[in-house]
Amino acid sequence: MRFGQWSKIKVSLIVQKYGGTSVGSIERIRAVATKAVAAHRAGHQVVVTVSAMSGETNRLVSLIEGVSDRYNKREYDVVVSAGEQISIGLLAIAINALGVKARSYLGWQVRFLTDSIHSKARIREIEGFRIREDLEKGHIVVIAGFQGVDEAGNITTLGRGGSDTSAVALAAALHADWCDIYTDVDGVYTSDPRIVTSARRLDRISYDEMLELASLGAKVLQTRSVELAKKYKVPLRVLSSLQEGGGTLLTEEDELMEKVIVSAITNSRDEAKITVLGVPDRPGVAATIFGALAEANINVDMIIQNISESGETDMTFTVPRGDYQHALETLAIPVKQIAAREIKGDPTIAKVSAVGVGMRSHAGVAQRMFKALAADGINIQMISTSEIKISVILAEKYMELAVRTLHDAFELDKDAGDRVIAR
């Protein structure tokens, strides 16, 4: 905002986050330093969160697994958190070399207080005063992502991708004006551009839509970081660290967004289907089947049960493809216990979804989706819906075709204002 020449220019506080690829070499670290210094010289207060240099976390994990495959998770956190310690120090040195004072801090120093669930801890609180002091002095502050400290002073880590969450939590705690997540793509797209050449980068997307996309296979952001951004209303931008411009802004829904019925079409191959045939229709059978899978730590996604007239029913559900064989073995005994007739499976399926907050207020989206797929001869095997999403399971070989068909059907290659169906 500008109020004429005598007004004070507002200083913005920006949190920038760079992933492992962005700090993967000395040259890349220097490039990140240049970006942070540019924001600082533009008059902003800058806090930078970084991951470990790409490859470093894997190196440390393989050292750990070399010592023992049944490692203690507290000690795992001690070892892997060293990765970010190296990258923050190097980045602070690179920023200093450009003539701007920088100081690096580890999770325990600033401090990122977490619970004590080692290797997937959750942030409870961030003490920001040391960071604010440094910012007031004109320093750039560099913070280790991915790590924290529990009440007892033990080092904790937030799980893979946790640096996104560190950055958003930090932006919330410092009341930052915005949080920039630099990654190797330049934003969130209407579809995977490798499948749909006419896919468009979204300038804006709502937190809720992004949550669905993150859980439907878009690997841009850790789900937990989007949850936090939504909760604390942190304006979040996804940007490329390799090219200027572009980016997608995550923000709260507004009227304009609601007019767009479908924002994106996603796809995922990480699916397998299992059907238990001839299940006696009596209480407790579902609990037997899904209890066994839960005990084996296998996540079940969609579940469909056909209503039976004969006293028998068929039960179909999906599991992650990597757990398919394990799931079949796990179910062998329960299936006998409940006296089901047969168990079948298919690991060659895919999930294609349409996501959009506009669905809340627009009827007919499902119908349009099914009609478009049918017109191209694509058979739908399973359907699952939420308020702002429709997912279908289909044979894997139709996945790309289905994505392109739906991208066309919802006119996602057009500017939102030009879409016929959006009005």
Residues that bind its own copies (CB under 8 A): 26, 29-30, 60, 63-64, 66-68, 70-72, 74-79, 81-83, 85-86, 88-90, 92-94, 96-97, 102-104, 106, 108-109, 153, 155
3-state secondary structure of 246: coil
- Rounded to the nearest whole angstrom, what is the least distance from the CB of residue 71 to its own copies in the complex? 5
The span from the CA of 22 to the CA of 380, in Å, is 40
Which CB atom, from 51 or from 316, has the smaller least distance to its own copies?
Answer: 51
Do 242 and 184 touch, CB atoms closer than 8 A?
yes
C-beta of 104 vs 313, nearer to its own copies? 104
Distance CA 400, CA 398 (A): 6
How many CB atoms sit inside 10 A of residue 258's CB? 17
Name the helix (H) or strand (E) containing 156. Answer: strand 155-157
Q: How far is the CB of 153 from its own copies (least distance, A)?
A: 6
- Kindly write down the DSSP assignment for every residue of 164-227, as one continuous string: HHHHHHHHHHTT-SEEEEEESSSS-BSS-TTT-TT--B-SEEEHHHHHHHHHTT--SS-HHHHH
| CB closer to its own copies out of 153 and 377 | 153
Closer of 30 and 326 to its own copies (Cβ): 30
Cβ–Cβ < 8 Å for 346, 272 = yes
User: Which residue lies nearer to its own copies by CB, 5 or 68?
Assistant: 68
Nearest approach, Cβ of residue 238 and its own copies (Å)? 27
CB 302 within 8 A of CB 393: yes
Q: What angle do CA 362, 381, 300 make, to 5 degrees?
A: 90
Residue number, 3 or 129, with CB nearest to its own copies: 129
To the nearest whole angstrom, how small is the minimum distance from the Cβ of residue 160 to its own copies?
A: 18
Q: Is the Cα torsion angle 240, 245, 246, 251 positive or negative in sign?
A: positive
What's the min distance (Å) between Cβ of 55 and its own copies? 13
Q: Report the number of secondary-structure helices (H) and strands (E) in the chain.
A: 14, 20
Residue among 138 and 322 whose Cβ is closer to its own copies:
138
> How near is the Cβ of 152 to its own copies at its closest, in Å?
9
- Amino acid letter for position 180: D
- DSSP 3-state of 384: strand
For the bound state, the minimum distance from the C-beta of residue 174 to its own copies, rounded and expressed in Å, comes to 19
Strands 342-346 and 382-386: unpaired
Nearer to its own copies, 57 or 313 (CB): 57
Q: How far is the CB of 108 from its own copies (least distance, A)?
A: 7
